[in-house]
Amino acid sequence: MGDQIENVLHETRSFPPSAEFRADARIKTDAVYERMLRESLDNPESFWGRVAREIPWMKPFERVLDWSKAPFAQWFVGGKLNASVVCVDQHVNSVRSGKRAIIFEGEPGDRRTLTYTELQLEVCRFANALKARGIKRGDRVAIYMPMIPEVVVAMLACARIGAAHSVVFGGFSAVALRDRIKDGGCTAVVTADGSFRRGAVLALKPQVDEALTECPDVHAVFVVQRAKNQISWLARRDVWWHEACAVAPSECAPEAMDSEDLLFLLYTSGSTGKPKGIVHTTGGYLVGTYLSTQMVFDLRDEDVYWCTADVGWITGHSYVVYGPLANGATVMLYEGAPNTPHAGRFWELIERHRINIFYTAPTAIRSFMRWGDEHVTKYDLSSLRLLGSVGEPINPEAWIWYRKMIGKELCPIVDTWWQTETGSIMITPLPGVTTTKPGSATRPFFGVDAAIVDEQGVELGPNEGGFLVIRKPWPSMLRGIWGDSERYIETYWKKFGGRFYFAGDGARRDEHGCFWIVGRIDDVIKVSGHRFSSMEVESALVSHESIVEAAVVARPDELTGQAICAFVTLGPGKSPSPELRASIDAHVVKEIGKVARPAEVRFSEALPKTRSGKIMRRLLRDIAAGVETVGDTSTLDDYSVLAKLRQHEE
């Protein structure tokens, strides 16, 4: 990882918060931030205990933290609560009852709003519909849906009856969906007939049907009628959402869940093997997302808040659903693509709905830049107060464009570093206090003991590149990997002997204490902020009939941050052709989904290996990026392979 970390950009521009923003911010001075950070680290029990008491509990917790079974944390021990009460009922029983919870706009332009009272009704109806089909506390329910209000309702309805959800991104294939349903032991699926995406209908129910041919435990499929595409129907298993809800009672008593009961599983890719089901429980997750949403976005009751992430990813869970709703926010939900029917779609939505807070990904920002400023300047963005970025390191050029073109140099930008595993934002500016620097996620959030360490776990000095670790447990941390405690310990804790959580990222901390995340140091690839492991794509590739061996590496890409570059060796008698390339693409799309389609496939007679047979991905990375290999090649078994691979570059 050495050279990667040495290459960190030398960015010197900095932007303190404006006096206007600071004057109204929840946290206005560095002294207050420092004091709160200190308390959260030195005295987590009092800090988090106080925060936790701001959300409604059905039974108070007895202890804030039990770390005696480390690395398996228990937060708010003995407490009972229900996530749907935290996100919905508490607001219905307050002045917010008539406040808009969700503002929805479909890709074709259809609109709908749901107040907190209306949301409660929908959640209760669907919770009863789930119960009527035998789904109960302790079950797992897969959700494979578009970005429509029903997806939020489905998640909260599961929570209400004590069933955990496992949301699978709608862009994943039937095979990927099947694997996740099986691994999680899901017994029901919630889906839609289809979704409107890029001016066409993206069929979802047919994917579910295909996935379920191998999932005998799934006995119920709830289908939202959205796109009215033709679908097939299995009468004993399938039920229309609207029919089930029409006959369901409108009240449903929430289950009193233990603070440590499973709230959801969310699958994500690691450096090896199959995707892992990240385990998040109820109390700590809600407390973490509640506080971070409030502080990082400096959220106000009057705000209209829009995080553009799909609920299929952790950002959608934490910052579309649980965090904002726990705070009683008004949340924008948009179904479609940012450039359909035109490249100014997002800005049109911001103007129409008077959005105040906008949270998106660097890859999206780079697309907007590419599409041209004229699509932005047509719209009135004066409602915007704050901007956010998440998912991958943001390049300073995109950061500056975002600030000028979208924020008109008035809005602070919060570049938030976190992970599926961390559950909530970990390193981030606080918009009223932090002087931001393009490309830096700046400083740790409350309760986060982040550090940069070397191979031995020794903390490094300013600007020395090393491993990013977290040294203390935090409320929204993962509680494990579903069904595989060993892998949990192995992946996140073993590297530093159980002392630190290892995030998998390389980073440095500058002389002002700001973190600069360089990126993954393992084999995780980030394409448009989505996580894939090279192994996962490789195993999809080698299951193609013509491929005998494959190695997948990331290469830098101007738009998507990283792109998947595959090196494949074909079987005897097979030769490269455009048809073969198309069939390889189709195969990966079938196995994983469109999101994992390789940007580049290079055919080669052999792959560079060490004498012990390990593929030297480092060399392939250099070749994919088109740079000269400067690293050590002395362990390479057959030098001619490198030369041949280079010849294939045109």
Instruction: Using CB under 6 A, list all residues that contact ligand WT7.
Output: 268, 314-315, 390-393, 415-420, 441, 503-505, 517, 519-520, 526, 529, 531
How many Å apart are CA 455 and CA 461, to the nearest integer? 14
Query: Quick check: helix, strand or coil at residue 520?
Result: strand
How many Å apart are CA 624 and CA 627, to the nearest integer? 8
Nearest approach, Cβ of residue 426 and ligand WT7 (Å): 9
Nearer to ligand WT7, 255 or 310 (CB): 310
- Kindly provide the b/e burial profile for residues 229-249, where b requires at least 16 CB atoms within 10 angstroms of the residue's own CB: bebeeeeeebbebeebbeebe
Nearest approach, Cβ of residue 601 and ligand WT7 (Å): 24
Nearer to ligand WT7, 194 or 324 (CB): 324
Q: Are 623 and 649 in contact (CB under 8 A)?
A: yes
Closest of 293, 39, 280 to residue 155, by C-alpha: 280
Nearest approach, Cβ of residue 407 and ligand WT7 (Å): 17
How many Å apart are CA 482 and CA 140, to the nearest integer? 12
Closest chain position to ligand WT7 (CB): 420
- Kindly provide the b/e burial profile for residues 54-67, where b requires at least 16 CB atoms within 10 angstroms of the residue's own CB: ebebeeebeebbbe
Nearest approach, Cβ of residue 157 and ligand WT7 (Å): 24
310 is written with which tokens?
Answer: 């799909």
How many Å apart are CA 616 and CA 645, to the nearest integer? 13
Nearest approach, Cβ of residue 23 and ligand WT7 (Å): 27
Nearer to ligand WT7, 84 or 424 (CB): 424
How many Å apart are CA 530 and CA 507, to the nearest integer? 19
Nearest approach, Cβ of residue 362 and ligand WT7 (Å): 8
Nearest approach, Cβ of residue 419 and ligand WT7 (Å): 4
Nearer to ligand WT7, 433 or 524 (CB): 524
How large is the angle between the packed helices 174-184 and 578-591, nearest 10 degrees?
A: 30
Closest of 387, 441, 436 to residue 415, by C-alpha: 441
Nearest approach, Cβ of residue 587 and ligand WT7 (Å): 24
410 is written with which tokens?
Answer: 């008035």
Nearer to ligand WT7, 280 or 531 (CB): 531
Nearer to ligand WT7, 48 or 319 (CB): 319
Nearer to ligand WT7, 353 or 366 (CB): 366
Nearer to ligand WT7, 196 or 267 (CB): 267
150 is written with which tokens?
Answer: 């029903």
